[in-house]
Chains A and B, each alone.
Chain A
Amino acid sequence: MASGESVAARWVSRQMVLLLVVLATLPLWIESIGLYPYLGVEIAIWMIYGLGFNLLLGYSGLPSFGHGAFFGIGAYAFGLFQLRVFESLFLGIACAVTAAFVAGAIVACFLSHRRGIYFALMTIAFGQVFWFISIKWHTLTGGEDGLLNIPRPAFELGVASAGLGSNTALFYFVLVVLAVVLVALWRLVHSPFGKVLQAIRQNEVRARFVGYNVWLFKWTVFAISAAIAGLAGSLFSMAQQSAYPDVMSLHASGIIVMMTLIGGGFVSFWGPVIGVAVYFLARDVLGAVTETWLLWFGLIFVLAVLFKPEGIAGAWQQHVGSGDRRSLARRAVAGFLSAGRK
């Protein structure tokens, strides 16, 4: 229990610091290993997306196959705000988060009383509806081409201000957002709310008989998760300087499920973080060797579902838990991974 911990330890964990330090130094070394700085932007954005998504999949046991819709809504909302209203970083992001939250809240009304496969089915249907609208509503979304030339507004906070035109500047901005999301979600999953979500995943009937309004919890977590996806989407539209329907397709929605699961979202807070890093590294490293890297990634996913649904984080935990020779490094990694759940 944390009663003896310092105040700082209740907000931030060692893993968090480690992750943020590694990411913060990324622009210094990424090119020396043959990759490029923009990759860091993508990874950080998808980590935000994945962490929010895992609130549903891992913590609440709600498999959403249509989450790309909310990512896309965030991207479009941010873009439309910059293009149609006025250029503003924080208002644009607020608009994106609100739009995704509202869309998520509406969708959640239809599916919060559903479980398992029917839940997944409904999320697919809604995901497709949003994707379809994004393609067909030309006047608003620009159709299949999407919104182009979305500006990257400058960062302005009181006296401090900085342009986000360069990818490095944008990267550090995204990193700060990631840090905020990490801390907030870390608190959230350990809060009574987070504990109830996990209780609902384990035994929905009992949670109800203990006195929890399961519907309302599912509704709330779905809307929160959608809002975080929208936040990630707004950053993505800044990174790409455009917003397009692809990110809302069933395919794209499935990829975030795959990342989260492969990383170990079912057993660890850090699952999506690991999964996102693995996915993007696989894309760029495998992708450099073969054009069909997604085939191999799909195969890995299938094998993971069959043999290791706990994902990479779970494999590490088991590996270290069962071994006799426990090196310090191994234990450190296992501790790192299991810290997300008790």
Chain B
Amino acid sequence: MALFEARGIHKRFGHQVVLERIDLGFESGQLSGIMGPNGAGKTTCFNVLTGQYKPDRGQVVLAGEDITGLAPNTIARKGIARSFQIMSLFDEYSALENLLIALPEVRERGFTMMNRLDSDSAAADRASTVLARVGLAGRERQRAGDLAYGERRALEIGVALAAEPRLLFLDEPTSGLSAKAIAGLAELVQGLKRDYSIVVIEHDMQFLFGLADTISVIHWGQVIASGAPEALRENKWVRRSMLGGKA
């Protein structure tokens, strides 16, 4: 059984159907890609899977447990972490504090009111480790809002990582990055693959084809194809979709 499954997801906003009968399955230990042109419904799909929106119909299942329609914080606690395409950090906090807040052990003590968080050196060490992993060693004290764009992208992933998820969702991680930075990011994600099950939304075909074990292509709110990258390269629907949506 797949680690995570979406079965027959429908989502509409008003009269506009955004997702129609979406079926997806993500295996444990793999990197799965979701691909499609802009406006195809990828991000909406992500938002439904991670709890931002409730689907109108269909089921979301994590390791055999139905998590359809649960609140984002509940889903997060069940082991799903996500990054955001539009950067979503705690800008006034230092890079380290961004990660501290996301650590599961801090989360469990969220209602502790009389112990100082900054005297918890074990948590700080763990946050530093995550920071180093996303390539931000030495940036601990810097305000997240003052970091360079590429560093903020890395921290965006770091916040998701700090939660030690069973399944990591990355929403357009290459968005706005230079070719060189994308190569660095690919290396980072390649490394993460060893330890995490990952789902990546991407419109950068090259990035995704190089990393993913399986890819699903979404167009017009439907999954039009899915399979191994090599197989998809030959699929005429995929080619048409991606060429059409190249802009």
Binding site for B on A (CB under 8 A): 1-3, 5, 10, 184, 187-188, 190-196, 198-199, 202-203, 205-214, 217, 220, 342
Query: Please, what's the 1-or-0 string for B83-100, where 1 marks a CB less than 8 Å from any CB in chain A?
Result: 010001111111001001
User: Which residue in chain A gives the minimum CB-CB distance to B143?
Assistant: A342
Measured between alpha carbons, how far is A140 from B68 in the docked complex, in Å? 50
**Pair B112/A193 contact, Cβ less than 8 Å:** yes
Query: Please, what's the 1-or-0 string for B52-86, where 1 marks a CB less than 8 Å from any CB in chain A?
Result: 00000000000000000001110011000110100
**Pair A190/B117 contact, Cβ less than 8 Å:** yes
**Pair A188/B114 contact, Cβ less than 8 Å:** yes
**Pair A191/B163 contact, Cβ less than 8 Å:** no
**Pair B94/A208 contact, Cβ less than 8 Å:** no
**Pair A196/B113 contact, Cβ less than 8 Å:** no
Q: Which of A191, A196, A202, A211 contacts B114 (CB 8 A)?
A: A191
Measured between alpha carbons, how far is A175 from B163 in the docked complex, in Å? 43
- Given A2-B118, A191-B117, A220-B111; 17 other pairs, CB 8 A cutoff: A1-B124, A10-B116, A187-B116, A191-B116, A192-B111, A196-B101, A196-B110, A202-B92, A203-B88, A203-B91, A207-B90, A207-B101, A208-B72, A209-B76, A210-B81, A210-B107, A211-B104
Residues of A within 8 A of B76 (CB): 208-211
29 contacts between A and B (CB under 8 A): A1-B119, A3-B119, A187-B114, A187-B115, A188-B113, A190-B116, A191-B114, A191-B116, A192-B115, A194-B113, A195-B97, A195-B101, A199-B93, A202-B91, A202-B93, A203-B88, A206-B89, A207-B90, A207-B101, A208-B72, A208-B73, A209-B84, A210-B73, A210-B81, A210-B163, A211-B102, A217-B110, A220-B111, A342-B94
User: Which residue in chain B gives the minimum CB-CB distance to A214?
Assistant: B73
Residues of A within 8 A of B93 (CB): 198-199, 202
* B9 interface contact, C-beta 8 A: no
Q: Which of A1, A5, A187, A205 contacts B113 (CB 8 A)?
A: A187
Binding site for A on B (CB under 8 A): 50, 71-73, 76-77, 81-82, 84, 88-94, 97, 100-102, 104, 106-107, 109-119, 121, 124, 159, 163
Residues of A within 8 A of B114 (CB): 184, 187-188, 191
- Distance from A15 Cβ to chain B, minimum over Cβ atoms (Å): 16
Residues of A within 8 A of B77 (CB): 211
Residues of A within 8 A of B110 (CB): 192-193, 196, 212, 217
**Pair A208/B84 contact, Cβ less than 8 Å:** no
**Pair B97/A212 contact, Cβ less than 8 Å:** no
Residues of B within 8 A of A202 (CB): 90-93
Measured between alpha carbons, how far is A211 from B164 in the docked complex, in Å? 12
**Pair B101/A199 contact, Cβ less than 8 Å:** yes
**Pair B113/A193 contact, Cβ less than 8 Å:** yes
Residues of B within 8 A of A196 (CB): 101, 110
Q: Which of A191, A194, A207, A211 has the most CB of B within 10 A?
A: A211
User: Which residue in chain B gives the minimum CB-CB distance to A210?
Assistant: B102
**Pair A209/B82 contact, Cβ less than 8 Å:** yes
**Pair B84/A206 contact, Cβ less than 8 Å:** yes
Query: Given A196-B110, A213-B73 in contact, is the A206-B116 Cβ separation under 8 Å?
Result: no
Query: Given A195-B100, A195-B117, A206-B90 in contact, is the A211-B112 Cβ separation under 8 Å?
Result: no
Q: Which of B88, B94, B111, B119 contacts A193 (CB 8 A)?
A: B111
Measured between alpha carbons, how far is A208 from B98 in the docked complex, in Å? 14
**Pair B107/A191 contact, Cβ less than 8 Å:** no
| Nearest 3 CB-CB pairings of A with B | A211-B76, A202-B90, A190-B116
Q: Which of B73, B100, B111, B112 contacts A209 (CB 8 A)?
A: B73
- Distance from A190 Cβ to chain B, minimum over Cβ atoms (Å): 4
Q: Which of B88, B107, B109, B119 contacts A205 (CB 8 A)?
A: B88
Q: Which of B50, B71, B90, B119 contacts A199 (CB 8 A)?
A: B90
- Distance from A150 Cβ to chain B, minimum over Cβ atoms (Å): 32
Residues of B within 8 A of A2 (CB): 116, 118-119
**Pair B71/A208 contact, Cβ less than 8 Å:** yes
Measured between alpha carbons, how far is A193 from B101 in the docked complex, in Å? 10
Residues of B within 8 A of A220 (CB): 111
